[in-house]
Amino acid sequence: MKLDKSKLDRVLKSPDSIGALLFYGPDEGLAHEYAGLAQRAVLGAGDDPFRLAELTPDDIRSDGARLTDELNAISMLGGRRVVCVAQATNAIADQIASAIAAQAPGSALLIVEAGDIGSRAELVKVFESAGTAGAFGCYRDSESQLGPLIAAHLKAGGYSIARDAQAYLAEHLGGDRGVTRSELDKLMLYMGEPQVGAPAREVTLADAMTCIGDRAAFALDDLIAAAAEGNVADLDRHYARSFAEVEAIQLLRSAARHFQRLHQVVARMAAGDTFEAAAGALRPPLFWNQRERMQREARQWSTTRIGRALERLIEAEAQAMRAYAIKDEIAQRALMDIATLARAGQARRT
């Protein structure tokens, strides 16, 4: 069956109701996090080697009966077992399908992790079509999801966070759940141990900007700026770097947010505000290292052409969602179209 978040939560509370789980998608850190939760739902916090088996795709390919045998084996000391398979691909879809079909009632829970194989992959179909199995797609956190995640993670460590710092982190993290938590742990280490009995120490914007030097965010900023300024040479140069760090749909959404903020600035300037006043009204605030770029772009773009750029980005996101296999090419084409719009603005200004 296809699992949404509410169904998955019910399964994790009552794992005896299912025989096999697949976690897949572009956020491999999130997939690994959920796989760990599923494992602990059966095994608890204990580390009983007789109840846990870990197989590789090569183990399954080399011995067709190995997975079936592991799933139906009985624990020496009692209790349900767990069989984990990491880095799975479509190459072992048939063997996994056979093993699920041969699972005895009450046998081990099979937990499979896969990368960004796509929702129509053969392996996904195996888990969605089996009545005793479920597949859950793990996609990168949006900014609206990241805010509560950031606050909760820091609160668990004994820290609070200022709103502008939370907005900054939500904008600069989120490519991978595991990386996000690791960066937050690094931030807490930077802040120092909270004092027992003292009020929660607040993470400020300065703390967040000092500690979280996210290379993906810097690459993304450079790429969007190259498109917004019509700099085709820089766009080509930053393209490969950014797509290695940031997923295409996240890139398109970040570009759309940038143009929405630029639209606010340009509209205020058209109404008579200075750039400083218009930029100062942005929420979250414009960071110091972005002001010069924003000022150049505000002189270059009109609200009409910004509207056309936003329409192009929305159209590209819809296309990328429909044709996920070529999402990078769709995003690149959209950025090139925006660079063309930017160059048209330069030509009108001169």
Q: What is the CATH number of the domain that holds 116?
A: 3.40.50.300
Structural domain count of the chain: 3
pLDDT score of 243:
58
Dist. CA 225–CA 214, nearest whole Å: 17
Dist. CA 329–CA 320, nearest whole Å: 9
Same structural domain, 247 and 340: yes
Same structural domain, 227 and 317: yes
Q: What is the CATH number of the domain that holds 296?
A: 1.20.272.10
Residue 107, classed as helix, strand or coil, is coil
Q: Which residues pair with 133 in a beta bridge?
A: 20
| CA atoms within a 13 Å half-sphere pointing along the CA-CB vector of 169 | 33
Contact 301, 342 (CB under 8 A): yes
Same structural domain, 228 and 337: yes
Q: What are 34's two structure tokens?
A: 């959920």
Same structural domain, 185 and 107: no
Same structural domain, 176 and 275: no
Same structural domain, 342 and 243: yes
Contact 329, 315 (CB under 8 A): no
Domain containing 88 equals 5-137
Domain end call among 196, 211, 226: 211
Dist. CA 203–CA 153, nearest whole Å: 12
- Stretch (H or E) spanning 344: helix 327-349
Peptide bond into 148 cis (omega under 30): no
Dist. CA 87–CA 342, nearest whole Å: 42
Q: What are 32's two structure tokens?
A: 């690994």
Same structural domain, 133 and 152: no
Contact 87, 115 (CB under 8 A): yes
Domain end call among 154, 188, 211: 211
Tell me, what amino acid is at 126? V
Same structural domain, 113 and 168: no
Same structural domain, 192 and 121: no
pLDDT score of 178:
85
Dist. CA 321–CA 346, nearest whole Å: 32
What is the separation of C-alpha 206 from the centre of its chain, rounded to a whole number of angstroms? 25
Show pLDDT as tens, one digit a residue, over the chain (350 residues).
999 999 999 999 999 989 999 999 988 889 999 999 999 999 987 667 789 999 999 999 999 799 999 999 988 778 899 999 999 999 999 999 999 999 998 899 999 999 888 889 999 999 999 999 999 999 877 777 888 999 999 999 999 999 989 988 887 786 678 888 888 998 998 888 887 777 888 999 888 888 875 555 566 778 888 899 988 877 877 776 655 566 788 889 889 999 999 999 999 999 999 999 999 888 877 776 678 889 999 999 999 999 999 999 999 999 998 888 898 899 989 999 999 999 876 655 54
pLDDT score of 244:
57
pLDDT score of 218:
61
Dist. CA 9–CA 3, nearest whole Å: 9
Contact 21, 11 (CB under 8 A): yes
Q: What are 79's two structure tokens?
A: 């209790």
Phi-psi region of 143 (alpha: psi -120 to 50; beta: other; left: phi over 0): alpha
Report the residue count for the chain. 350
Residue 113, classed as helix, strand or coil, is strand
Same structural domain, 315 and 245: yes
Contact 118, 326 (CB under 8 A): no
Domain end call among 159, 194, 211: 211
Query: What residue has token string 């709103």?
Result: 163
What is the separation of C-alpha 120 from the centre of its chain, rounded to a whole number of angstroms? 19
Same structural domain, 207 and 220: no
Q: What are 249's two structure tokens?
A: 């749909």
Contact 160, 200 (CB under 8 A): yes
Same structural domain, 76 and 167: no
pLDDT score of 350:
43
Dist. CA 167–CA 201, nearest whole Å: 18
